[in-house]
C-alpha cells in the first residue's frame, strides 16, 4: 500500500469529503492562504476555492459559533482550531451550544460539526501551545471525541467524523503530522467508537492513543525482551468508549495500564480505570496504573519539558508496578 | 409645525438631551416614498440607505418612522396588532401561570418590547433565520410559532417544541427558521453569523437576524460576530433590544456608550437607533436592513430603544428601580397603546376591529394553555432520546 504522511491523510480525507458533499466546508485561522500551520491544508483552496476553505479572523468564538449556526442551516462545517489550547476561548460554543443544541431542542436538528484540534507537546511550544485537553470533553454529553494515532486512522476517522450527524472533536497530535504510514486510497472509513488491538499479548493490557500509543508500543517491545507480553490497545475514540474491546483484553490479561500525554489527574485514564474497576474488577489480578503528564503547566525549557511528559520508561515502570 | 420640527421634538422627547446627530427617515405622506437624511438640523432629500458617510460625524444614525409611516395595508396593520397582542397576552398568561406554580424553572417576560420582534419579523421570509435570547417568547411568536407547542414546552410537556427538554429559555422551531432561544447571554450572535454564512454560501437569499439585549452587547462574542459578519459581508441583521437593564443592572452603569448602535462605526456597518416601542419605525428600519442584506450589502446593527416593563424574571424583587419609574414608562410609552392610538387617530383600523383580534387571540391562548395542561409529561425512557443521532447516549450515560 502507498505510504503518505498523517497530514496528507487528513488532507485526503478533507478533499474526498468536500468532493463527495458540497455542504462540507472548512474554516479556521491561517488555513487557506498559508495552508495551515502544519501544512495540513495545502492545496485545498486551489481545489475548492476560498469560499469553502475559509481564512477566518482570530475569533474562536465566531469560528465555532458560526460552524454551529451553519450546521443548523444545513451545512456540514469543519473548523480548524489552530491549537487545541485555543478551544478554551470558545468553550461556551463547544459545551453550551454545539453539544447541547440537538438534545435541548428535542431532536429538531442535527449539529454535524467537526472541530479539528492539533494538540500535544512538541519542540518547546510552552504552556499555552502544548496541551492535550481531550479529557475535558469526555465530561460533556452530546460530543463525540476521536483521536487517531497514525495516518490511516487519521483519514478514516476524519471521514467518519465529517459524515457523523453528531458534533465531533477530532484531536491530532502535532508530532504525528509528519509520520508516514500506509493509507488506503479512496473510500476508507474508521468507525467512531471502535478501539483497535494493535499488539496482542497475554500478560498486561496497555491502553493508549494518539502519539503516546507509539511510546506504549516501544514499552511493550522492551517488556517483551523481559518476557512480559503486553497487549496494546489504541482507543481511537474516547467518546464513545469501546468497552467491549477494552473489557475483552483486561479479562484476558488481568492487568491494566493506561498511558496518555494529557494530565494524569482527571484524565481519560481515570475514566477508563473507573469503568474497569466498576464493571469487571473481579478480572483484575493487580492494581490499575495510570501514566500521564504531571500536574504542572508545560514548561518551556528543553531541560524541563520531557520531565513532565510521560515517557517509555514510565510506562514500563507502571507495568512492572502493576504485575 | 413642519414635519422636521415634529420629528426633532419627538426625538428629543424620547432621548432627552442626547438628540441625534444624524437620522434618516421615510416619508410616505405623498404617494411617492421619499427617504431623508437628517443631520444636525440639515435635511438631505432622496438619500439612499444606508446614507453616505457624513463628514466629521461618526455617531450612529437615528431612525424615526412613527407617525409618518402609516401607509400600510390594513391587513398588515391587523397582523402587527395580532402579533403584538398575542405576545403581550401570552406573556401575561405566563406570568399568572408561573406565579400559580404551574410553570417550572424560570420565565423571562417580553412585556413592553413587543413592537421589536413584531416589526422585525414582519420583514422576514418564513425560511429566514432568527436567533433569540432567554427572553425569547416574543421572537418565537413573531416568527410564526405554534402557540400550543410553545405553551406545552414551557410546561415541560412531551408535546412541546422540544419535547419538554428545553423549557422557556430554549424554545426553537427549525421549520420556521427559529434557531432557538439561548440561555447564554450573547450566545446567539455567532449562530446567526453561521446561518448567514450558510445562506451566502448556498446563495439562497435568506438572511439571519440575531436578537440580543443591551447587556449582551458587552459580551466579547458581539465583537467577534460583528467583525466576522462585516468582514465576510454576510446577510446578518443584529437587533439590539435596549430595554435599559442588563438583568438587574441599569445598562448605562456598565456600558461605554449611550447608543449601542454607535459601535457599528467600528465595524464599518450601518448603525441605526430606532424607537423600539413604535412598530412602524422598527419595521422600516428592519426592512431596509433586510433588503440591504439580501442584496449582498452585508450586515446592519439596529438598536431598538425600549423598556422592560417586568422584572428580569418572574419573581424578580426589582430592587434596582422604583415602581413609579415602571408605571410612568408603561403609561406613557406602551408599544400596544402607541399602536392603537396611531391607527385609531388615522382611522386606519376601528376599535371594533382591534377588539375582534383580541377576542380571537384570547381564544387561541385558552386553547394553547389547555393543550399544554392536558398534555403528558415525557416518559422516563425519553431521558436519553435525541442526545446523539446514533442513539448510544444511554450506553455512555450508564
Say yes or no: A91 and A234 in one domain: no
Q: Is the pLDDT of residue B10 over 70?
A: no
Domain that holds residue A147: 3-182
Judge whether A190 lies within some domain. Answer: no
Say yes or no: A175 and A210 in one domain: no
Evaluate whether B54 touches B39 at the Cβ level (below 8 Å).
Answer: yes
- By CB atoms closer than 10 A (0-12, 13-18, 19+), residue B73 is exposed
Q: Is the pLDDT of residue B3 over 90?
A: no
Judge whether A214 lies within some domain. Answer: yes
Judge whether A168 lies within some domain. Answer: yes
Given A152, A182, A212, which residue is the final one in a domain? Answer: A182
Q: What percent of chain B has pLDDT over 70?
A: 80
Judge whether A172 lies within some domain. Answer: yes
Say yes or no: A162 and A236 in one domain: no
Say yes or no: A178 and A83 in one domain: yes
For residue A250, the domain's CATH number is 3.40.50.920
Cβ separation B201–A107 shorter than 8 A: no
* Tens digit of each residue's pLDDT (9 = 90 or more) over B240-258: 999 999 999 999 999 999 8
Pairing of strands B300-305, A76-80: unpaired
* Tens digit of each residue's pLDDT (9 = 90 or more) over A252-311: 999 999 999 999 999 999 999 999 999 999 999 999 999 999 999 999 999 999 999 999
| Contacts for A233 with CB less than 8 Å, ≥ 6 apart | A195, A196, A197, A198, A205, A206, A207, A208, A245, A246, A249
Output the pLDDT for position B139: 98
Cβ separation A69–B180 shorter than 8 A: no
* Tens digit of each residue's pLDDT (9 = 90 or more) over B298-323: 999 999 999 999 999 999 999 999 99
Say yes or no: A165 and A245 in one domain: no
Tell me which residue in A73, A75, A106 faces B129 most closely, judged by beta carbons: A73
Residue bearing the bigger pLDDT, B336 or B284 = B336
Judge whether A188 lies within some domain. Answer: no
- ipTM of this model? 0.96
For residue A152, the domain's CATH number is 3.40.50.970
> Is position A173 annotated as part of the catalytic site?
no
Output the pLDDT for position A156: 98
Say yes or no: A236 and A110 in one domain: no
- Structurally, chain A folds into a number of domains equal to 2
Q: Is the pLDDT of residue B26 over 60?
A: no
**Structural domains of chain B sorted by starting position, each given as residue range(s) with its CATH number in brackets:** 1-47 (no CATH), 73-377 (3.40.50.970)
Task: Tell whether A106 lies on the interface with B, counting CB pairs under 8 A.
Answer: yes
Catalytic residues of B: 308, 312, 320
Give the C-alpha distances (Å, rounded to integers) separating A307 from A117, A269, A276: 24, 19, 29
How far apart, in whole angstroms, are the C-alpha atoms of residue A282 and residue A72?
Answer: 46
Segment A145-172 shows an average pLDDT of 98
* Tens digit of each residue's pLDDT (9 = 90 or more) over A195-217: 999 999 999 999 999 999 999 99
Give how far A114 is from chain B: nearest CA, Å: 14
Q: Mean pLDDT for chain A?
A: 97
A3-12, B264-273, B324-333: the lowest-pLDDT one: B264-273
Give how far B326 is from chain A: nearest CA, Å: 34
Helix runs in chain A, H state only = 6-20, 44-48, 60-72, 91, 101-104, 134-138, 151-163, 210-225, 243-253, 268-280, 305-308, 312-322
Say yes or no: A90 and A206 in one domain: no
Helix runs in chain B, H state only = 3-15, 74-99, 114-121, 137-142, 147-154, 189-202, 220-231, 279-294, 323-332, 335-345, 351-374, 393-397
Segment B113-135 shows an average pLDDT of 98
* pLDDT band per the 50, 70, 90 thresholds, residue B22: very low
Judge whether A189 lies within some domain. Answer: no
Tell me which residue in B160, B190, B397 faces A62 most closely, judged by beta carbons: B190
Say yes or no: A12 and A102 in one domain: yes
Say yes or no: A219 and A299 in one domain: yes
* pLDDT band per the 50, 70, 90 thresholds, residue B21: very low
Given A182, A213, A246, which residue is the final one in a domain? Answer: A182
Judge whether A253 lies within some domain. Answer: yes
Given A182, A214, A248, which residue is the final one in a domain? Answer: A182
Interface A:B, Cβ pairs < 8 A: 157
CA A49 to chain centre: 28
Say yes or no: A255 and A136 in one domain: no
How far apart, in whole angstroms, are the C-alpha atoms of residue B81 and residue B75?
Answer: 10
- Quick check: helix, strand or coil at residue B63? strand
This prediction's pTM: 0.92
Judge whether A70 lies within some domain. Answer: yes
* pLDDT band per the 50, 70, 90 thresholds, residue B12: very low
Say yes or no: A175 and A211 in one domain: no
Say yes or no: A129 and A271 in one domain: no
Q: What is the DSSP letter of B60?
A: P
Output the pLDDT for position B70: 55
Amino acid at each position: 500500500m502507498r505510504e503518505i504522511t498523517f497530514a496528507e491523510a487528513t488532507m485526503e480525507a478533507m478533499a474526498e469529503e468536500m468532493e463527495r458533499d458540497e455542504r462540507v466546508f472548512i474554516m479556521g485561522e491561517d488555513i487557506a492562504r498559508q495552508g495551515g500551520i502544519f501544512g495540513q491544508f495545502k492545496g485545498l483552496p486551489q481545489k475548492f476555492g476560498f469560499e469553502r476553505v475559509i481564512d477566518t479572523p482570530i475569533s474562536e468564538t465566531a469560528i465555532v459559533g458560526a460552524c454551529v449556526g451553519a450546521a443548523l442551516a444545513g451545512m456540514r462545517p469543519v473548523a480548524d482550531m489552530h491549537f487545541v489550547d485555543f478551544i478554551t476561548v470558545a468553550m461556551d460554543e463547544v459545551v453550551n451550544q454545539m453539544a447541547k443544541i440537538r438534545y435541548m431542542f428535542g431532536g429538531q436538528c442535527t449539529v454535524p460539526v467537526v472541530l479539528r484540534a492539533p494538540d500535544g507537546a512538541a519542540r518547546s511550544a510552552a504552556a499555552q501551545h502544548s496541551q492535550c485537553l481531550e479529557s475535558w470533553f469526555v465530561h460533556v454529553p452530546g460530543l463525540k471525541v476521536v483521536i487517531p494515532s497514525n495516518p490511516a486512522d487519521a483519514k478514516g476517522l476524519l471521514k467518519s467524523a465529517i459524515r457523523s450527524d453528531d458534533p465531533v472533536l477530532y484531536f491530532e497530535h502535532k508530532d504525528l503530522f509528519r509520520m508516514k504510514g500506509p493509507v488506503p486510497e479512496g473510500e476508507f472509513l474508521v468507525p467512531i467508537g471502535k478501539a483497535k488491538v494493535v499488539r496482542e499479548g497475554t500478560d498486561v493490557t496497555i491502553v493508549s492513543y494518539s502519539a503516546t500509543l507509539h511510546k506504549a508500543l516501544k514499552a511493550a517491545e522492551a517488556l517483551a525482551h523481559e518476557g512480559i507480553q503486553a497487549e496494546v490497545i489504541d482507543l481511537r475514540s474516547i467518546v464513545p468508549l469501546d468497552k467491549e474491546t477494552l473489557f475483552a483484553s483486561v479479562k484476558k490479561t488481568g492487568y491494566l495500564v493506561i498511558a496518555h500525554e494529557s494530565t494524569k489527574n482527571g484524565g481519560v485514564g481515570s475514566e477508563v480505570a473507573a469503568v474497569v474497576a466498576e464493571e469487571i474488577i473481579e478480572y483484575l489480578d493487580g492494581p490499575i496504573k495510570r501514566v500521564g503528564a504531571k500536574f504542572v503547566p508545560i514548561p518551556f525549557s528543553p531541560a524541563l519539558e520531557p520531565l513532565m511528559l510521560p515517557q517509555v520508561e514510565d510506562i514500563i515502570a507502571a507495568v512492572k508496578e502493576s504485575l | 409645525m413642519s414635519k422636521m420640527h415634529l420629528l426633532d421634538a419627538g426625538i428629543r422627547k424620547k432621548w432627552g438631551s442626547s438628540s441625534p446627530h444624524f437620522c434618516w427617515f421615510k416619508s410616505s405622506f405623498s404617494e411617492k416614498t421619499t427617504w431623508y437624511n437628517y443631520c444636525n438640523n440639515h435635511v438631505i432629500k432622496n438619500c439612499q440607505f444606508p446614507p453616505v458617510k457624513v463628514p466629521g460625524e461618526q455617531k450612529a444614525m437615528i431612525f424615526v418612522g412613527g407617525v409618518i409611516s402609516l401607509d400600510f395595508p390594513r391587513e398588515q396593520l391587523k397582523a402587527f396588532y395580532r402579533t403584538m397582542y398575542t405576545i403581550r397576552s401570552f406573556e401575561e398568561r405566563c406570568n399568572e401561570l408561573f406565579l400559580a406554580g404551574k410553570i417550572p424553572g424560570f420565565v423571562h417576560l417580553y412585556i413592553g418590547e413587543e413592537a421589536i420582534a413584531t416589526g422585525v419579523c414582519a420583514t422576514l421570509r418564513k425560511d429566514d433565520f432568527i436567533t433569540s435570547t432567554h427572553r425569547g417568547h416574543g421572537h418565537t411568536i413573531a416568527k410564526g410559532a405554534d402557540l400550543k407547542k410553545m405553551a406545552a414546552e414551557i410546561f415541560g410537556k412531551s408535546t412541546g417544541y422540544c419535547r419538554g427538554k428545553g423549557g422557556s429559555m430554549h424554545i426553537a422551531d427549525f421549520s420556521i427558521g427559529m434557531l432557538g432561544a439561548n440561555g447564554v447571554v450573547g450566545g446567539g450572535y455567532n449562530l446567526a453569523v453561521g446561518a448567514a454564512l450558510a445562506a451566502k454560501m448556498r446563495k439562497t437569499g435568506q438572511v439571519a437576524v440575531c436578537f440580543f439585549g443591551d447587556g449582551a452587547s458587552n459580551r466579547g462574542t458581539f465583537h467577534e460576530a460583528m467583525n466576522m459578519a462585516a468582514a465576510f459581508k454576510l446577510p446578518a441583521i443584529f437587533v439590539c433590544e435596549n430595554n435599559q437593564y442588563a438583568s438587574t443592572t441599569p445598562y448605562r452603569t456598565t456600558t461605554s456608550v449611550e447608543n449601542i448602535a454607535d459601535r457599528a462605526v467600528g465595524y464599518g456597518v450601518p448603525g441605526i437607533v430606532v424607537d423600539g416601542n413604535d412598530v412602524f419605525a422598527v419595521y422600516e428600519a428592519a426592512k431596509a436592513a433586510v433588503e440591504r442584506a439580501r442584496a449582498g450589502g452585508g450586515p446592519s446593527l439596529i438598536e431598538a430603544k425600549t423598556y422592560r416593563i417586568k422584572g428580569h424574571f418572574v419573581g424578580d424583587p426589582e430592587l434596582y428601580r422604583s415602581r413609579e419609574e415602571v408605571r410612568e414608562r408603561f403609561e406613557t410609552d406602551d408599544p400596544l397603546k402607541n399602536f392603537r392610538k396611531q391607527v385609531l387617530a388615522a382611522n386606519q383600523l376601528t376599535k371594533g376591529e382591534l377588539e375582534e383580534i383580541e377576542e380571537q387571540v384570547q381564544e387561541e391562548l385558552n386553547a394553547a394553555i389547555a393543550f399544554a395542561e392536558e398534555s403528558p409529561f415525557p416518559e422516563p425512557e425519553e431521558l436519553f432520546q435525541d442526545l446523539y443521532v446514533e442513539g448510544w447516549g444511554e450506553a455512555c450515560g450508564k
